[in-house]
Amino acid sequence: MTQGEHAPNAADLVLARDRLLGRGRAGSAGASGGHRLSPPALREALADLHEFWLTAHAAQAGIGGRGEGVALLAVGGLGRRELVPYADLDLVLVHDGRKPVADVAERLWYPLWNAGVGLDHSVRTVGEALEVAGTDLRVALGLLDARHMAGDAEIGVRLARAARDSWRAGARKRLGELLESVRKRWARAGEVAHWVEPDLKHGRGGLRDLGVLDALAVAQLVDRPGEDVQAARTLLLDTRTELRRVVGRPRDVLRPQDGDEVASALGLGDRFALVRALSGAGRTVAYAVDVALRAVSSAQPQRRVLGVLRRAPERRPLADGVVLHAGEVVLARDAEPGKDPGLLLRVAAAAVRTGHPIAPAALSRLGETAPELRAPWPAEVRQDLVALLGAGEGLTDVVEALDRTGLWARLFPEWGAVRDLPPRDMAHIWTVDRHLVRTTVNAARRVTSVSRPDLLLLGALLHDIGKGRDADHSVVGAALATQVGHRLGLSKQDVDTLAAVVRHHLLLPHTATRRDIDDPATAERMAETLDRDPVLLDILHALAEADSLATGPGVWTDWKAALVGDLVRKTRAAMAGEPLPDGVPLAADKRALAESTAASGKPDVLVAGTRPATVTIATVDRPGVLSRAAGVLALNSLEVHAATMGAHAGVAVGVFTVTPRFGSMPDPSLLREQFARAVAGTLPLAEQLAAKERDYGGVAADPPEPRVLWFDHEAGSPDVVVMELRCADRIGLLHSVADALEGRGVDVRWARVATLGGSVVDSFGIPKGAGPGWRRAIENAVLRACG
């Protein structure tokens, strides 16, 4: 820069950045004359832009050249020239201590702050930087990417070389610290490979893990990553680049609502194709990191003790043909994988049971020589499989290792359709294959509750195996389970039971949360559906809990567990031919509430319990009781799970099962006062609920299309039909729908509300109507109420 020239200001930097991202002034073509830059080209352009600005501004700020003892270094993404949109600039101003640099630093940093550019900065001498790196692992790893930007190149290069030399010399001593840091990050951020909303940077198998691999390679503890890892790096970087370009701000978690646009930009079709590609990349990186960390942890130099070389680690037998050596599960010296069809499963089970990983060499040898298991499997091999599935928490990592090396597909060829498959509903947090494994881990904790633990474990592993195909996954899954059962050598009766487990794995939770389980006909219908088989009923009960726990947080609640348990007890009684009560009469406290309300003529409210709580409302019978009660509960942030309407002594009695969305239950006197005003028509429910939706968020920006379904034979009573509404959840939804039904003169007998992530399935037991247009009129009213 010649004298008299001025460096571009930070506002110009931001404007130029936004134009590169296609966010310039209206009418501007953006970068490259209207051509959209590819993700690698965009990162390169962003690095060039920021490097140009920093170089020019450094000279203006007073950072001299050769011999001046001050230099500006870039670390992080800019240091690696992998700068993604809206990334913070990681900068180090290094000096030799001969002259003050505070003013120089301020002139460099403040323009960036004022322009809103994210900045992570430090000012240190070479010695100070190395001292901090010696105690702060994040700084030590960051300096490995240090690259000279401006000023005295000699001091900048000196720091970069010294940081690398220091890391290379002391890396082995810091492996424990590194491993602890990695595990804490994984616990916070989850996995790229199997989470529905993967954290591309911090998740297991993400970009931070690639930094760990690079750091180990710099220390010469492992080889440089291979081509498969480099390909995974490119996909992760490109996805992170496009995600930030799409959302227009810093973000590293890929959400489903952004997936389609990002996928389209990357030429991957839709978000499901993108998530499957990312899952494969995350698996590749996670496996490479696992192998690298194990390798460097076990490769400790042998020491001499009293002049004698320490003995090599012993080989401890774990199972026939399986031993533990140097912290890994390996094959015994005399093992013959080609002649031992059960060896693979014994190796896997030993790894789960002991918590030690399978050695890569053992996996490779099994992959090359283990024979295909012929159908039907020998009984002892089938027992090895059950032992593996029931071994507990370590099953997740072992299945992952087998699947990466193609060994799991040898056992279950049907697995290919669900591998890395993202789920279609928002309640799930895992990909389908990981969900199946997590369900099996959960089922292993419940094997003592069933008479056939082997069928429970197999059912858990296969219950969603039918997903990823254009048909009902329960029906497809039952056919596939039959196929697997025959291959495993199960008896015909066991094959039929396994298929029924997969076919009906949703029956208990769906019936308990969407139908009137107090109606004796519900339990009788359940018993008939399950062929009056108590063994199947118990397996489905255990699987319902295991499946829900593996779906996501909040899916299996105390309320849901109680409902399912109650349904199971009633179904078991129906199977045994025991008489069932004809409906459930009002409890004594609720009858007393109704009688006191009839005497006073004033609405009343009774609250019992906390999470969940039972709220009973009573008022002189009149239209609109359900909608008004639901509206009052919604105003007080109470999530309704179930509602039953009845009558006693001329009083309408509504019993609601609720859970506070936030905090604790409101004061009963407040509910009583608001309900009385709602009944009197002096509480503007619609207006206040609309305001609450504005304050706390309403329906999602891109909600699923609402649907209304009818079930003629699932209400129990012949004069009652079940109407099921499936739509996006929002505050006050039950109030709006109940109001729409009441507006059509419909008397709601009972309601069940099942919340699944951001959507709900609301079921209503209503009297059957007459005329061909009756259902259509109700459907239209309900769909309008969905908003």
- The DSSP annotation for 650-711 comes to TEEEEEEEEEESSSSPPPHHHHHHHHHHHHHT-S-HHHHHHHHHHHH--S-SSPPPPEEEEE
- The secondary structure element, H or E, covering residue 223 is none
Q: What is residue 756's three-state secondary structure? A: strand
Confirm if 85 and 33 have CB atoms less than 8 A apart. no
The structure tokens listed for 310 are: 């320490």
C-alpha–C-alpha distance, residues 490 and 476, integer Å:
19
Assigned fold of 10-171: Beta Polymerase; domain 2 (3.30.460)
Residue 546's Cβ-count burial label (10 Å; 0-12, 13-18, 19+) is buried
**Predicted confidence (pLDDT) per residue in 288-318, tens digit:** 999 898 888 765 554 444 444 455 567 889 8
Write the CB contacts of 393 (distance below 8 Å, at least 6 apart in sequence). 441
Q: What is residue 331's three-state secondary structure? A: strand
Q: What percent of the chain stands above pLDDT 90? A: 47
Angstrom distances, CA of residue 745 to CA of 537, 656, 777: 39, 21, 11
Angstrom distances, CA of residue 140 to CA of 128, 160, 171, 743: 12, 11, 10, 68
C-alpha–C-alpha distance, residues 458 and 540, integer Å:
12
**For helices 10-20 and 39-61, angle between their N-to-C axes, nearest 10 degrees:** 170
Write the CB contacts of 110 (distance below 8 Å, at least 6 apart in sequence). none
Q: φ and ψ at 607, to 5 degrees?
A: -120, 135
C-alpha–C-alpha distance, residues 542 and 533, integer Å:
15
**Predicted confidence (pLDDT) per residue in 668-692, tens digit:** 999 999 999 999 889 998 888 888 8
C-alpha–C-alpha distance, residues 38 and 588, integer Å:
71
Model confidence at 569: pLDDT above 90: yes
Q: What percent of the chain stands above pLDDT 70? A: 92
* Highest mean pLDDT, choosing among 113-122, 397-406, 497-506, 515-524: 497-506
**Predicted confidence (pLDDT) per residue in 412-427, tens digit:** 999 999 998 888 777 7
Q: Is the pTM of this model over 0.85?
A: no
Q: Strand pairing of 89-95 and 119-125?
A: parallel
Mean pLDDT of 236-247: 95
Q: What is residue 586's three-state secondary structure? A: coil
- The DSSP annotation for 453-499 comes to HHHHHHHHHHTTTTTTSSS-HHHHHHHHHHHHHHHHT--HHHHHHHH
Assigned fold of 422-584: Hypothetical protein af1432 (1.10.3210)
**Predicted confidence (pLDDT) per residue in 349-395, tens digit:** 889 888 889 998 999 999 888 888 888 998 888 888 998 998 888 89
DSSP for residue 310: P
Task: Quote the pLDDT of residue 425.
Answer: 72
How many Cβ atoms from other residues are within 10 Å of residue 563's Cβ?
Answer: 22
Closest CA to 731 of 662, 644, 633, 664: 633
Task: Quote the pLDDT of residue 2.
Answer: 43
Q: Which regions of 558-635 does DSSP assign to beta strands (E)? A: 604-609, 613-620
C-alpha–C-alpha distance, residues 413 and 398, integer Å:
17
**Predicted confidence (pLDDT) per residue in 161-210, tens digit:** 999 999 999 999 999 999 999 999 999 999 999 888 899 999 999 999 99
Q: How far is CA 584 from the centre of its chain?
A: 39
C-alpha–C-alpha distance, residues 786 and 779, integer Å:
11
* Highest mean pLDDT, choosing among 96-110, 500-514, 605-619: 500-514
Write the CB contacts of 135 (distance below 8 Å, at least 6 apart in sequence). none
**For helices 520-529 and 507-514, angle between their N-to-C axes, nearest 10 degrees:** 170
- The secondary structure element, H or E, covering residue 315 is strand 315-319
The CATH number of 590-785 is 3.30.70.260
Task: Quote the pLDDT of residue 29.
Answer: 37
Task: Quote the pLDDT of residue 646.
Answer: 81
Model confidence at 579: pLDDT above 80: no
| Spans of all domains in the chain | 10-171, 201-250+274-297, 422-584, 590-785
Upstream peptide bond of 612 is cis (omega within 30 degrees of 0): yes
pLDDT band at 6 (very low <50, low <70, confident <90, very high): low
Model confidence at 593: pLDDT above 50: yes
pLDDT band at 759 (very low <50, low <70, confident <90, very high): confident
**Predicted confidence (pLDDT) per residue in 542-551, tens digit:** 999 999 999 9
C-alpha–C-alpha distance, residues 292 and 171, integer Å:
13
Closest CA to 235 of 255, 263, 202: 263
- Choice among 297-311, 384-398, 554-568, 626-640 with the minimum mean pLDDT: 297-311
The structure tokens listed for 37 are: 């830059």
How many Cβ atoms from other residues are within 10 Å of residue 147's Cβ?
Answer: 16
